[in-house]
Each structure stands twice: as C-alpha cells, then as structure tokens.
A and B are shown apart, each in its own frame.
Chain A
C-alpha cells in the first residue's frame, strides 16, 4: 500500500476536529483551564500547517482566522464566552465540511470569517486577507519590551525519521529575534554505533525577542510531543543586537566565533509520554482487520474439521499436536478479536455536541455525564450503535428532560442530567441512557394504545407491557411532532437495530423521576459461544449467552399441557415454542425432547428441540441474499464435518410466535 499523505492528513484532521469539539464543549463548563485554550490553539494550528502542506489552501486559510482568534483568547484579549464556544464549534464544522467537499467554502466560509473577525474586533477580515496572511512565518508580538529567553530543545532521537528538520525550527526562532544557538554533542555515540536516522544532538538557545512565550512555543508546536522543550525567561538580554543570520547565506571564513557558554540547561528528561504512546500505536485500515478476522474464522473452522478427523482416525501421535493447535488457535482468535475492540468513549464523545446543540435548540439546560467510556466493544458493533444511541438521546432531550422553568416548578434543579454509561455484564456490555426528566406517563401511553386499537378500553395491562408499547412501530405520545422526535418512528427502530446486533433493549421509568433505556449488547459479532442442537436431523446453534438452562420434555408432559405449550420448571410455568412446528419439520419426534430455556427482555421462554449436542465456538457467516428474509435465522456456521448449521435468533423467534398467536392470523412458519 503506497503512502498517501492527504489520506493520512484527513484521518489526523478528523481526530483533531473531534478533539476540538470536546475542548470547545468543555468551555461551557466550569472545568476549562488555560490548557484547554492551548489545546484548541494547537489543534487548529496543526490543521492549518498540515493542510497547507497537503495543498488544502482553503482549509489552511480559513483555519488561520480561527487560530488568530484563539491567539487573542490565549493572551487574555478576548474572554471565553458562549459566543466564542459557538464560533469555535461552527468553525470546526466548517473545516470538516471543507475537508469533505474540497470546496473553497463559499458564502458560509465568508460569513463565518466575518463573525470571527467581529469577535476578534477585526471586522475587516476577509478571505483575501486570510490568503495573504497564511504564509507560515511566525510574527513577533511587538510590545516594545525585548526579553531574553533560554530554550532547551532536546528532541526524541527518532525525530529525523518523521521529517523534522531542526534547522527549520531555528530559522523560525531567528525570525522572532536575535538567537544564539548551541548544539550539544555529548550524546553522539562512537562512529560505528551511530544509527543513521537518529538525532543525537540537542540544543540550548538564547533568544532576545519582544515576542510572547506563546509565539516561541508555536515554533515547536509540531514537535512538542517528540521533544523535551523548556522555555524560561532570563533576566537580561544576552544576545547582541546584530541581525540574525539569514538562512541560505554562506558563512564565509573566518569561521564563526564559538558560541558563548550558555548557562547549564536543566537535566535532560526522557521524551514526553505522549510521544512514546504515539510510537507504540499503529494505524491500520479497518478492512485489514476485517480480513484478519475472516481468516481467523476460516482457521477456527478448519481446526474444528481437523480435530474431528483426528478423533476419527484415532492415531495417538496426532492427539497432542491437534490439541496444542486448538489451544494456539483459540489464543490467536482471542488476540485478533481484541484488536478490533474499541472503547465506547470514541462514540460517547460525539454525543456531547449533540446534547449541547439540541439543548440550545429546545431551550433546555442539560448536562451529559458519561461513565465507562473505556468499556470496549467490537468495532462492527460500535459502527452500528451510533444511530440507535442518537435516537435515545434525542428522545430523552425532547420528551424526557423538562424545560428549566418546569423543572424549577417541580422542585428539580433547573439543569437536567442525562447519564450515558457503559459497563460489562458477563459476556455482554450494557449501555444505559438515563435521564432525570418527567418519565413515561402510563395514562398517556394507555390512552394512546386504546386510540390506536392496540388494547381494549377497559384493559389493565401490566406495567412492563405498558412500557413496552413505547417500542411498538408508530407509537408516540408526544403532543407535537418536532424535528427532534415525536413521529413514533424512533424507538421501534432502535429496538430493531439493537436486536440486529444480537442485543436487547429494556425500558425502566418512574413518573416524575426519569427514564432509563438499557441496551445489552454482545462483545463481538464475529465469533460467539454457541449451543449446538438438533431438530429433525438438522443442526442449529443458539447463542450461549441467551440460554439459561435446558430441561427434558416428555410426551406425558406435553399431553399434560393440553395444547397450551407450557412447561413447569421448578414451579415456574414457562411458555415454549416448538421449533419443529415453526420450521415445518416433519418426522418422528424423540420420546424425550429438550427445552432450551432462553431469556429475552427479562422474560423466559423455551425452545423445544430434539437433542442438545453441546457448546460450539461459532464463526458467524452471513447468509446469502436468498436467505436474508428468513427472520428467525441470523447467520450460519460451517461445522467440523463440513455441514452447515443455522444460527437461530431467539428474539426473532418470539416475534414470529407472537404474530402467529395474534387473533385472526394464521400461524406463520419461518
């Protein structure tokens, strides 16, 4: 794969824009510090510099304005206000748009530049002026007071490898004022031990300039993670006022006088931890990981075939190597799957902006608190989790959390809270969206259900059934439809999306206190622990995570149920679904069948099968397009003997069974 600097810049810019968004949003809270402003400045500065290097002049030109604005915030000339936050967020969005569209920005860019200019008290700012100013020179801030600075610059040895040229940094320093640069050679190893791409030199610089410290730091902004940089002010000017040498001009004999000794620098430290962390990570395209996971899947299947063949030929010499191979492949599988695991915080981060913008739009004051951002999920699940979570948050913001005045009337804090949390529960991850709003009004739900003909007027459903009505297609109790939510197309779509991820959605709500939506998700979709069973000669797999136990079902017990498909398990009556019946499988049943007790949405139900064969490491293969419409099957896997086993989807089986039992409908078959 060839190196693509523009592609790399786009990836880095996307990360920087996320960082900008988080930093900008934190300006709204009391928790921001001067470092927050520095972070914003550095991120915009990096986008500007790298954008210019990649030829994205529109990006560089626009970003220059934001950078100038932040520079004034940094030196205290402009205060941090909600307006500033808004402008920074808009600027961030505009840069993203510029990156996506490769457009020059047009009117939107001009309008934003004008707004930035107004904030900067520089109403004359225009795009043309930007283009002229985008030259990378570092402008001294001349306040008429020259100062002397001592700078220690000790780069990470690998800095040359990344294309950094220390001479270019010193050239920028010279543009700020008079410089006295001294290279230290004490770390240069013997000739035969020199690594060609390592930098062993380090430097001390005395700089006389009227520029602020921030301007000096800006010179090192692209190397600050790869170097130790100390900048401190010393009392008196130490460098002659002679003009700084101009780079590119040969220095004639006699050779320049040796530099004056510079006061001893502070002891050198190891490179910044951030630099080490960056070196220890590698950016890999997602499709390569997907390919790796697919290969592991094939390896697991072939290992299964090998193990089966080995057990059939019964050659003693094969046993130990095959077992060792199984162990190694299991370890390899776990490692490869773990590579694709990403912290859910990568998803949470973007919701802060959503809550910020929607709160403003709805006239509400809402704080988003996230917990468990480090909880990891498979990337393929994270990719599909964003939209359902957006739906949930929009619902909480629109219908859950009250307006500040309404909250005050109810004795609640004017500021509402939405908690977005993630945690491990066994082999699952539970993501919860909890608000402290008005909760779900049961009476309104019942009235709507009656109006829609879902229940009779005098019906008295259980609390759980009332809450679950929210999840029905087209159901909404919102008094008015807004562009945020209220069309009733949200929560059933969320439920379906979560079930497509082999997860479940549950609701809990207390009127006046708030609502909690809990999404229970598997850690991965690629390989699962399954329970293999047989029905009518065919082999099937059910995800082990949803099976709680399995029990016998005799012909006598069937008769005792009198056609009501209920089995008693330790005194609890559990409804069961006959898979032979559902799948249309003919033939003689075994005298004793098995019932797999499966949990779905806090309810237990049984799946009647012929016999249980045992657990199975299941590599999930997607079904071809001809089978995609088979609702109750979520995938397939290839067994050790080459046969295909279908993976059944318990929630889909329940849905199908419920539809079949609906009055006036004929029983459906899968």
Chain B
C-alpha cells in the first residue's frame, strides 16, 4: 500500500494506492489520523486501491465518518472498483462513503 498527500490551496489531496487489508490498516490509520488533525479541505483519491478487506473498509469508513463529524470538508472521493466490489460483497452501502448530503466525505 502506498499513501501520499499533496498540499493544495486550502487543503490536501490524500491518495491511497495498492492493497488496503488488515496488514496495512495500522500504518494507514496513523496517516489518516494525522490528516484529520491537520483539518481543512481533504480530497480523497481511492481509485488506486486494487484490493481491500473488511478491516480496510471499516477503517476508511471510520475516517470519513470522523471527518464528517469534525466538520472538515472534502470533495467527492474517487473510489476504485475493488472497493465497490468488497463493499457490495459485505453489504456495506457506498452511501456510507459517498453521501450526497455530505459532499465533503471522501
């Protein structure tokens, strides 16, 4: 898994690529926490995620929920097919990721 973030005017672009599974969760959690502490507009790009599992999905879910609760804003995220597929397999609604009411989420 590769995590990168690029500062942009008034915010940050946070990109995750590769496999987001139980082995990657701890390091991704650290990066996400730092991003949340920093605040501002965060644009998530998850289009490079080639595979994920339940542990990875629930971590990304927690990140967007906490982001929402903290009042940060974000553009709509870019989500890979792998994420959609796993979310569908386990019955996790992409509404949780892609809420129209909360355009700042992921």
Interfacial residues, chain A to chain B (CB-CB below 8 A): 160, 165-167, 170-171, 180-183, 185, 188-192, 194, 196-201, 203, 205, 245, 247-252, 255-256, 258-259
The closest CB in chain A to the CB of B94 belongs to: A255
CA gap between A258 and B32 in the complex, in Å: 26
In the bound complex, residues from chain B placing their C-beta under 8 Å from that of A259 are 91, 93
CA gap between A192 and B50 in the complex, in Å: 24
In the bound complex, residues from chain A placing their C-beta under 8 Å from that of B89 are 167, 170-171, 245, 247
Evaluate whether A170 and B91 lie within 8 angstroms (CB atoms) in the complex, with A190-B62, A191-B59, A196-B26 already known. yes
CA gap between A191 and B64 in the complex, in Å: 9
Q: Are B84 and A251 in contact (CB under 8 A)?
A: yes
Determine which of A165, A170, A192, A249 lies in contact with B53 in the assembled complex, contact meaning CB atoms within 8 Å. Answer: A165
CA gap between A249 and B22 in the complex, in Å: 22
Q: Are B91 and A191 in contact (CB under 8 A)?
A: no
CA gap between A182 and B22 in the complex, in Å: 21
Q: Are B61 and A196 in contact (CB under 8 A)?
A: no
In the bound complex, residues from chain A placing their C-beta under 8 Å from that of B98 are 255
Query: How close is A106's CB to chain B, nearest CB, in angstroms?
Result: 42
Evaluate whether A191 and B66 lie within 8 angstroms (CB atoms) in the complex, with A181-B90, A182-B91, A245-B88 already known. yes
In the bound complex, residues from chain A placing their C-beta under 8 Å from that of B58 are 185, 188, 194, 199-201
CA gap between A249 and B82 in the complex, in Å: 9
- B residues 24-63 with Cβ under 8 Å of A? 25-26, 29, 32-33, 36, 53-55, 58-59, 61-63
CA gap between A477 and B25 in the complex, in Å: 74
Q: Are B29 and A191 in contact (CB under 8 A)?
A: yes
Query: How close is A506's CB to chain B, nearest CB, in angstroms?
Result: 60
CA gap between A669 and B105 in the complex, in Å: 93
- 14 CB contacts below 8 A, A to B, read A160-B55, A166-B90, A183-B93, A191-B32, A191-B33, A191-B63, A196-B25, A196-B26, A196-B29, A198-B55, A201-B58, A245-B88, A250-B84, A250-B85
Q: Are B88 and A256 in contact (CB under 8 A)?
A: yes
The closest CB in chain B to the CB of A187 belongs to: B58
Query: How close is B81's CB to chain A, nearest CB, in angstroms?
Result: 4
Determine which of B33, B54, B92 lies in contact with A192 in the assembled complex, contact meaning CB atoms within 8 Å. Answer: B33
The closest CB in chain B to the CB of A163 belongs to: B22
Q: Are A188 and B22 in contact (CB under 8 A)?
A: no
Evaluate whether A183 and B91 lie within 8 angstroms (CB atoms) in the complex, with A166-B54, A188-B58 already known. yes
CA gap between A190 and B25 in the complex, in Å: 14
CA gap between A198 and B53 in the complex, in Å: 12
In the bound complex, residues from chain A placing their C-beta under 8 Å from that of B65 are 185, 188
Determine which of B36, B53, B61, B94 lies in contact with A185 in the assembled complex, contact meaning CB atoms within 8 Å. Answer: B61
The closest CB in chain A to the CB of B86 belongs to: A167
CA gap between A167 and B53 in the complex, in Å: 8
Query: How close is B17's CB to chain A, nearest CB, in angstroms?
Result: 17
CA gap between A171 and B81 in the complex, in Å: 18
Q: Are B36 and A191 in contact (CB under 8 A)?
A: yes
Query: How close is B74's CB to chain A, nearest CB, in angstroms?
Result: 15
Q: Are A203 and B90 in contact (CB under 8 A)?
A: yes
Q: Is B75 among interface residues, defined by CB-CB distance under 8 A?
A: no
Determine which of A160, A252, A256 lies in contact with B54 in the assembled complex, contact meaning CB atoms within 8 Å. Answer: A160
List 4 A-B pairs, minimum CB-CB distance, nearest first: A181-B91, A196-B25, A250-B81, A255-B94
Evaluate whether A167 and B66 lie within 8 angstroms (CB atoms) in the complex, with A185-B61, A203-B91, A249-B85 already known. no
The closest CB in chain A to the CB of B25 belongs to: A196
CA gap between A226 and B90 in the complex, in Å: 18
Query: How close is B10's CB to chain A, nearest CB, in angstroms?
Result: 22
CA gap between A203 and B58 in the complex, in Å: 13
Q: Is B9 among interface residues, defined by CB-CB distance under 8 A?
A: no
Q: Is B95 among interface residues, defined by CB-CB distance under 8 A?
A: yes
In the bound complex, residues from chain B placing their C-beta under 8 Å from that of A252 are 81, 84
CA gap between A192 and B28 in the complex, in Å: 11
In the bound complex, residues from chain A placing their C-beta under 8 Å from that of B81 are 250-252
CA gap between A181 and B86 in the complex, in Å: 12
Among B58, B91, B93, residue most surrounded by chain A Cβ atoms (within 10 Å): B91
The closest CB in chain A to the CB of B93 belongs to: A258
Q: Are B93 and A194 in contact (CB under 8 A)?
A: no
Determine which of B36, B54, B93, B94 lies in contact with A167 in the assembled complex, contact meaning CB atoms within 8 Å. Answer: B54
Determine which of A183, A190, A198 lies in contact with B90 in the assembled complex, contact meaning CB atoms within 8 Å. Answer: A183
Q: Are B91 and A205 in contact (CB under 8 A)?
A: yes
In the bound complex, residues from chain A placing their C-beta under 8 Å from that of B53 are 160, 165, 167
Query: How close is A227's CB to chain B, nearest CB, in angstroms?
Result: 13
In the bound complex, residues from chain A placing their C-beta under 8 Å from that of B90 are 166-167, 170, 181, 183, 201, 203
Q: Are A197 and B55 in contact (CB under 8 A)?
A: yes
In the bound complex, residues from chain A placing their C-beta under 8 Å from that of B82 are 250
In the bound complex, residues from chain B placing their C-beta under 8 Å from that of A200 are 58
In the bound complex, residues from chain B placing their C-beta under 8 Å from that of A255 are 84, 94-95, 98
Among B29, B53, B58, B63, residue most surrounded by chain A Cβ atoms (within 10 Å): B58
In the bound complex, residues from chain A placing their C-beta under 8 Å from that of B55 are 160, 196-199
B 69-105 binary contact with A (CB < 8 Å = 1; else 0): 0000000000001101110111111111010000000
CA gap between A450 and B88 in the complex, in Å: 87
Query: How close is A302's CB to chain B, nearest CB, in angstroms?
Result: 44
Evaluate whether A194 and B91 lie within 8 angstroms (CB atoms) in the complex, with A160-B55, A165-B53, A200-B58 already known. no
Q: Are B84 and A165 in contact (CB under 8 A)?
A: no
In the complex, given contacts A170-B91, A191-B66, what are 18 additional A-B residue pairs having Cβ atoms less than 8 angstroms apart?
Answer: A160-B22, A160-B55, A167-B54, A167-B86, A167-B89, A180-B91, A185-B96, A189-B62, A191-B33, A192-B29, A194-B62, A196-B59, A197-B22, A197-B55, A198-B55, A251-B88, A256-B88, A259-B93
In the bound complex, residues from chain A placing their C-beta under 8 Å from that of B88 are 245, 251, 256
Query: How close is A256's CB to chain B, nearest CB, in angstroms?
Result: 6
B 11-29 binary contact with A (CB < 8 Å = 1; else 0): 0000000000010011001
Query: How close is B22's CB to chain A, nearest CB, in angstroms?
Result: 6
In the bound complex, residues from chain A placing their C-beta under 8 Å from that of B92 are 183, 185, 201
In the bound complex, residues from chain A placing their C-beta under 8 Å from that of B61 are 185, 188
CA gap between A304 and B84 in the complex, in Å: 69
The closest CB in chain A to the CB of B53 belongs to: A165
CA gap between A551 and B87 in the complex, in Å: 84
CA gap between A346 and B96 in the complex, in Å: 51
In the bound complex, residues from chain A placing their C-beta under 8 Å from that of B85 are 248-251
Q: Are B29 and A194 in contact (CB under 8 A)?
A: yes
The closest CB in chain A to the CB of B98 belongs to: A255
In the bound complex, residues from chain B placing their C-beta under 8 Å from that of A171 are 89
Q: Are A199 and B54 in contact (CB under 8 A)?
A: yes
Query: How close is B28's CB to chain A, nearest CB, in angstroms?
Result: 9
In the bound complex, residues from chain B placing their C-beta under 8 Å from that of A181 are 90-91
Query: How close is B6's CB to chain A, nearest CB, in angstroms?
Result: 21
In the bound complex, residues from chain A placing their C-beta under 8 Å from that of B32 are 191
In the bound complex, residues from chain A placing their C-beta under 8 Å from that of B36 are 191
Q: Are A188 and B93 in contact (CB under 8 A)?
A: no
Among B55, B59, B84, B94, residue most surrounded by chain A Cβ atoms (within 10 Å): B55
CA gap between A190 and B96 in the complex, in Å: 15
The closest CB in chain A to the CB of B92 belongs to: A183
CA gap between A528 and B65 in the complex, in Å: 63
CA gap between A258 and B85 in the complex, in Å: 14
